[in-house]
Amino acid sequence: MSLDTLIITDVAPRDGLQNQQIPVSTSAKLRLIQLLHEAGVTSIEATSFVSPKAVPQMADATELMGEINRHLPHLRASALIPNRKGLERAHAAGAREVAVVLSATQTMNQKNINMDLVTATKICEETLHAAQALGLRTRAYVAVAFDCPFEGPTNLDTVVALAERMHQAGAEEIVIADTIGSASPGMVKNHFERLASVLPIKKLAAHFHDTRGMATANAWAAIQAGVRRFDASAGGIGGCPFAPGAAGNAATEDLVLMAERSGLTTDISLPGLLKAVDYAESQLGRTLGGRSIAWLRRQYAADKTAS
C-alpha cells in the first residue's frame, strides 16, 4: 500500500442496511456487494452475526457469507461479531475476516450489550484471540470514540487505552468510530494525532457519520493526520439503531471524489459506485446519495447512458 492510496471498507451492506425498515433479500445484498466489488471496492463489511431477533435485517448472515465465498472468493468480506458465539457462527459460515465492537463508555456498553466497559473489553480481547486462533483476519471498532449519546464527550485517554488494548490483542485494524456523527475536524485531528503517537497509523481506520454534515471534512482531517483506512457506505446509507440521533454513514462516493481530487488514489470507479447506489435505491425504494451525488449524476450521465 502506497501512503497515497486510501483503503475504503464499504459498510453499506452491514452498517448501511442494518437500520433500514425495508427487508433486503440475500440475493439483493449479494448483488449490491458484487456491484461495489466491480466498482473497485476491495474491502466490504458484509454482514453481522448478531441475534436475528435484535437485527432482523442480518438474519441471513450465514447464507450471505456462503454466497460471497462462492461468487467473490477474493473479496475482503468482514462480518461483525458480538462475542464468541457470533464468532463460531461466522467461522462456520466461512467468514475469513471478523470485527468486534467495543464502545468507549460505560453507558453505551450497558445499553448496547448490557456489560460494563471492563467486561466488554475483556470479551473483545478473548474474541480477537479466538478468531486469530482460527486463522481469521480481525478488526476492532472503538465505538462512540468522540461523543456518547448518553455520557457526552468521550474521554480521549480511554479511547487511546482501548485502542491500545485492541492492538495488543492482535486486531489488524482498529477502527475509531464517530458512531453518532458528532465529531468535528478539530476533534478528529486531536484524536488521531494522539492515537498515532502510540499506535502504528497504518493500523488505524476512521469511521464517520454525516449527521452534522462534517463527514467529508472529518475524513480530510484524518487524512492529514496520516490515516489511510476509512469506513464509508455507498450512497451514505446507514445509521446506528442503538445511538439516538445518528444519521447516514460518510458516503463512499464523497470520500473517493475528495481523495481523487486531492491527489490520492482509491482504485474505486465513481461511475461504478453510482451503479451500486442506483441498485440500492431500487431495493430500498428511496433516494440515496452523499453530498456530491447530484454533481456526480450530472457528470457521469453520459457514461450511464452508454453502459
Question: Catalytic amino acids?
Answer: 240
Closest-CA residue to 79 (of 98, 93, 62): 98
Contacting residue, 261, 287, 305, 306, with its own copies by CB under 8 A: 261
d(CA 67, CA 64): 5
Contacting residue, 5, 27, 262, 265, with its own copies by CB under 8 A: 262
Q: Does residue number 291 form part of the binding site for its own copies (CB under 8 A)?
A: yes
> Which CB, 59 or 217, lies closer to its own copies?
217
- Residues of the chain by 3-state class (helix, strand, coil), percent to 5: 50, 15, 35
| Type and span of the H or E element at 80 | strand 76-80
Q: Does residue number 207 form part of the binding site for its own copies (CB under 8 A)?
A: no
On whether the CB atoms of residues 255 and 219 are closer than 8 A, the answer is yes
Backbone φ and ψ for 116, nearest 5 degrees, come out as: -80, 170
Q: What is the dihedral of CA 232, 300, 297, 74, to 10 degrees?
A: -30
Closest approach of its own copies to the CB of residue 4, in Å? 10
On whether the CB atoms of residues 182 and 213 are closer than 8 A, the answer is no
Q: Does residue number 221 form part of the binding site for its own copies (CB under 8 A)?
A: yes
Q: Which three cell numbers stand for residue 273?
A: 459506485
Site string for its own copies, 240-259 (x = CB under 8 A): -----x-x------x--xx-
> Which CB, 106 or 190, lies closer to its own copies?
190
Q: Does residue number 184 form part of the binding site for its own copies (CB under 8 A)?
A: yes
Under DSSP, is residue 244 helix (H, G, I), strand (E, B) or coil? coil
**Which one of 127-135, 155-163, 166-174, 208-216 is the stretch in contact with its own copies (CB under 8 A)?**
208-216
> Which CB, 161 or 217, lies closer to its own copies?
217
Q: Does residue number 219 form part of the binding site for its own copies (CB under 8 A)?
A: yes
Buried/exposed 255-274: b ≥16 CB within 10 Å, e otherwise: bbbbbeeeebebebbbbbbb
d(CA 299, CA 276): 16
Q: Does residue number 217 form part of the binding site for its own copies (CB under 8 A)?
A: yes
Q: Does residue number 111 form part of the binding site for its own copies (CB under 8 A)?
A: no
Q: Does residue number 12 form part of the binding site for its own copies (CB under 8 A)?
A: no
Q: Does residue number 66 form part of the binding site for its own copies (CB under 8 A)?
A: no
Q: Does residue number 226 form part of the binding site for its own copies (CB under 8 A)?
A: no
**Which one of 31-39, 52-60, 103-111, 262-270 is the stretch in contact with its own copies (CB under 8 A)?**
262-270
Q: Does residue number 212 form part of the binding site for its own copies (CB under 8 A)?
A: yes
Q: How many CA atoms lie within 13 A of 174 on its CB side?
A: 30
Q: Which three cell numbers stand for residue 105?
A: 463508555
Tell me the one-letter amino acid at 259: A
Q: Judged by CB under 8 A, how many residues of this single chain contact its own copies?
A: 34
Q: Does residue number 263 form part of the binding site for its own copies (CB under 8 A)?
A: yes
* Residues at the interface with its own copies (CB under 8 A): 181-187, 210-214, 216-217, 219-221, 224, 245, 247, 254, 257-258, 261-264, 290-295, 298
